[in-house]
Structure 1
């Protein structure tokens, strides 16, 4: 199908500008996927315009706002596109523009003097809620045509010959669903709405520019029907929809706790019974802060029923352990990669597993109102993992530990983490794969010892080799291990502050524990040594203070006081000091530390 494109001048009523009037002077390049323009921008201002594409008898428009914050002699490069389907209409227009400071070549939106605003908007949180907010971790519209890169990257097509997820129920706790969408026909089970307090999880169309029909998009990635439109990870699985987020993608932790229990079939006062308990729960959402005791309690109850919980790592470019529920115990947390398999620029780091979420100009295709769209985020990565678990679960009544172990054992090791491979996970399940997983991170001071739980997911006890950096002492107990073991780590006295790693290897798998050695608080160390070499010492506050040494033998003593800045008990060359001599009994001895 051919595609024609144009970037039209402003609508009537908007001020004309040299940048946008008279056909937009500059170069124009058209391809089957996108429209690129280099616009000489000589004035500051804000203007409305639209991208229009026509082809195959269909027409689509994508409105945008151009904001020039500072005039420049440089050209402004914009790249836009619209999707033209067989039954497209102007009311179903989808598309976007992005700004590239030096030309459009896959760079993300942002930077420079200019910005294009429009369909790239991300949902934002709502402040002042009675409990902690959570929000969807995806929803950025992408301007390209559908490119099914994500499922082959995670090796789903190979897995479909052996498993489809038939008979598995996956709960999607999100913004709700569009039950009339062709991709979701025959897929949805009766669900729950915790936003409006009823049993209809349909997401209302509010017309908000922040609304992306996030829950439907996530559900389609996970289990869209085989209808020739798009592919899904586990097409024969069933979706249990739970609406706990608003159309703009915001919600509350208290509703998340209710959703978890209800999804697992746990009776919840005030809510109807759930006749279709889930084997997997997908949480494409996150909130900032530690895992609360109430949330952890609910997750423990869910796990006790054999339910696996998958959560988005978050889209903040930070450590995933700063965001719940991904930082809770027993949750399988998922970061996002782009088509090249590299960690996405927005994805939170250090997640146990990575999956396709999109990056730059590439998103993940999924259903939305009136058709499909490409979105990117860790929200899109999480349902790939949930779909893979559904495939594994449909092969038999394996334990949750065995399923998670196969998933991790079958993943591909990359410099940034483990990348999901659904087909390899199925093979690992058949062969009794082994996976090691470290829970949390450890903070120690020199001279201290601590422990971290380690999950050894294996059908048999596995000998585990432990190697620590920087002179740390570490061992695993028990070893060989199966199930939960404990990694004991000690930072010897004198260990320099900094970040250290402990590597565990066993059964063909490996994991890394992160240990942060913190500096001891500064103090003044005072020692009194006799001529024979016998010494007595004590510690004082860093600002100094009075001291008293008793029970000393007669003789001359050398007194040394120094400011122990790193708390290691040893005098370093750069640390201030003071010296004196005294014979007991002596009073009024003063040492100046400088």
Structure 2
């Protein structure tokens, strides 16, 4: 506010301040915000609502029910067979956030109207769709005989030189992904995790159609909701994605078989948030990230091994939402550095969630020539890049299903390289904050020329050896 020396201005400001003080105790001064990004033409049923701290609905279930009932009535949304039009599905990890569900899927205009009416309650901070995302994957099944992406050369991350100083021992890395499969080249480095998929049946046909998927997207295939088993042994092998990501971070190394991991001395906490088709409900993923960092989630035992590094190789193509930002901020406040795949749409990363959020390390993908992968997101909010492959003979090799090894491309494959390097940094400098670790990753990265990335690949290609050396000083 700019102060004025004019008495009339002072009187006006004083009067306004007095009026505000008299009304503030009764209710918050401003209505909330509705964020429609992610709404589909149809299939909109689940929403995330954040109530203001200390408000009546945040403290009292009856007050919340009354607020939702009034909003539904104003929006013309009716319940079935006398049941409430809106109900609270569950409380989320971030204080004040709830998952709200309508009795049936709503078309875009109806859903937007409902969100506006929910936000009209001054006790509401924001409301957004509880949409979903897909794991950031460009699959290809040929195998490769070497991991070019780790090499001590211009296109690798220089892992061998970094291993002269550390293997990442003592650091815990959470992999928030599609779960994990048993693998002899990984099991020794895996700690207990959790399955955060809350729906046993996945989303319905109209909800899944928003993302171009079939009915049942996100189904966990284990027949139940949240449970302590992050393993996916479903027939579609959705856990292969998470297994590949985990192998890049911490596959068992120097054992004479298989592949190496970037931080092979670190331990993995697998946190399952994506099911069939790689679909993950945002509310599940946000809870998973907060839990992985050591935060509490109602109805779930606390994580006995809070992660110093969290890898998220999932996302959606729309801008960061307040619920995602709140979850990330909570994880960072708990001391975790959150590393995120930038996205595979060859678009500006600011259009992607969670990669476009603040307080994350957004990772673009590079190919075997050190150039931006054709599919990779780009832009001013990219922090660093890492090998993610591109093309038939240009993928990232890691652990996959059936005790095997496979090569995949995607920013999903780039992100765990950076998560692994972050773990190496943390192992030699455990007192570093997430912001300090990010600063080291960026200051030691090798710049990528404009001819190889014309629209922005952040500070450049992550350099494990340089990052560890800088952190050890």
TM range (shorter): 0.5 to 0.7
Show the counterpart of 2:190: 188
Matching residue of 2:388: 357
2:372 aligned residue: 343
Q: 2:462 aligns with which of 414, 420, 423?
A: 420
1:463-542 pair list within 5 angstroms: none
Partner of 2:298: 269
TM-superposed CA distance for 1:384, in Å, is 0.2
Q: CA deviation at 1:428?
A: 2.2
Q: Give the equivalent residue in structure 2 for 1:406.
A: 440
CA distance in 1, matches of 2:336, 2:375: 29
Greater radius of gyration (CA): 1
Supply the distance in 2 between the matched residues of 1:382 and 1:194 (Cα, whole angstroms): 21
User: For the Cα contact (< 8 Å) 2:315–2:343, is it kept in 1?
Assistant: yes
For residue 408 of structure 2, what is the aligned residue in structure 1?
A: 375
Distance in 2 (alpha carbons) for counterparts of 1:139 and 1:360: 10
Which protein has the bigger helix share?
2
Out of 375, 384, 388, the position equivalent to 2:417 is 384
Deviation at 1:399, TM superposition (A): 2.3
- Matches of 1:146 and 1:205, distance apart in 2: 28
In 2, Cα distance between equivalents of 1:302 and 1:148: 31
Which residue is equivalent to 1:214? 241
The answer on 1:177 being equivalent to 2:180 is yes
What is the deviation of 1:143? 2.6
State the distance in 1 between where 2:354 and 2:135 align. Answer: 12
Distance 1:212 1:141, change over 3 A: farther
1:405 Cα deviation (Å)?
1.3
Aligned to 1:394: 427
Matched, 1:310 2:312: no
Query: Which residue of structure 2 lines up, in the alignment, with residue 146 of structure 1?
Result: 145
- The structural deviation recorded for 1:144 is 4.7
From 153, 166, 174, give the equivalent of 2:169: 166
* Residue in 1 that maps onto 2:315: 286
Q: Any conservation in 2 of the 1:212–1:247 contact (CA below 8 Å)? A: no
Residues 385 and 461 of structure 2 are in contact (CA less than 8 Å); yes or no, is this contact kept in structure 1? yes
State the partner residue of 1:324. 353
Distance apart, 1:173 and its partner CA: 0.5
Deviations 1:534-571 (A, max 9, x none): xxxxxxxxxxxxxxxxxxxxxxxxxxxxxxxxxxxxxx
Q: For residues 443-462 of structure 1, what are the structure 2 equivalents within 5 Å?
A: none
Instruction: Check conservation: 2:388, 2:411, Cα contact below 8 A.
Output: yes
RMSD in angstroms over aligned alpha carbons?
1.8
In 1, Cα distance between equivalents of 2:290 and 2:420: 21
Cα deviation for residue 426 of structure 1 reads 1.4
**Secondary structure at 2:188 match in 1:** coil
Does the 8 Å contact 1:213/1:247 carry over to 2?
no
State how 1:551-562 maps to structure 2 within 5 Å. Answer: none
| Deviation for aligned residue 1:427 | 2.0
Q: What is the DSSP-based 3-state SS (H/G/I as helix, E as strand, rest coil) of the residue aligned with 1:419?
A: coil
The one-character-per-residue Cα deviations of 1:493-543 (angstroms, maximum 9, x if unpaired) are xxxxxxxxxxxxxxxxxxxxxxxxxxxxxxxxxxxxxxxxxxxxxxxxxxx
Contact 2:290-2:331 at 8 Å conserved across structures:
yes
Higher relative contact order (CA 8 A, sep 6+): 2
Q: Secondary structure at the match of 1:354?
A: strand
Q: Given the superposition, is the C-alpha separation of residues 347 and 212 from structure 1 closer, same or farther in structure 2, using an over 3 Å criterion?
A: farther
Distance 1:278 1:306, change over 3 A: same
Task: Answer whether contact 2:181 2:239 (CA < 8 A) is retained.
Answer: no
Cα distance change of structure 1 residues 292 and 316 upon mapping to structure 2, 3 Å threshold: same
TM-score of the superposed pair, with normalisation by structure 2: 0.62
| Separation in 2, partners of 1:171, 1:292 | 22
Cα distance in 2, alignment partners of residues 337 and 346 from structure 1? 10
Runs of 4+ in 1 over 3 A off after TM superposition: 127-130
Equivalent residue, structure 2, for 1:93 = none
Match of 1:225 in 2: 252
Query: TM-score, with normalisation over the residues of structure 1?
Result: 0.49
Asked if 2 retains the 8 angstrom alpha-carbon contact of 1:178 and 1:184, the reply is: no
Distance 1:247 1:272 in 2: 25
Counterpart CA distance in 2 for 1:404 and 1:392 is: 10
Contact 2:263 2:424 in 1 (8 A): yes
Partner SS, residue 213 of structure 1: helix
**CA separation in 1, counterparts of 2:265 and 2:304?**
19
Q: Describe the SS at the equivalent of 1:414.
A: coil
- Per-residue Cα deviation, 1:357-385 (whole angstroms, up to 9, x for no partner): 00112111111112110001000000000
**Is this contact kept in 2: 1:166–1:394, CA < 8 A?**
yes
The equivalent of 2:74 in structure 1 is none
Q: 1:349 to 1:333 in 2, by over 3 A?
A: same
Gaps of 5+ in 2: 1-106, 112-128, 198-224
Where does the alignment leave 5 or more consecutive residues of structure 1 unmatched? 1-126, 432-594
Q: Which residue of 2 aligns with 1:132?
A: 131
Query: What is the rounded CA distance, in whole Å, between the counterparts of 1:144 and 1:237 in structure 2?
Result: 25
Count of aligned residue pairs for this structure pair: 302
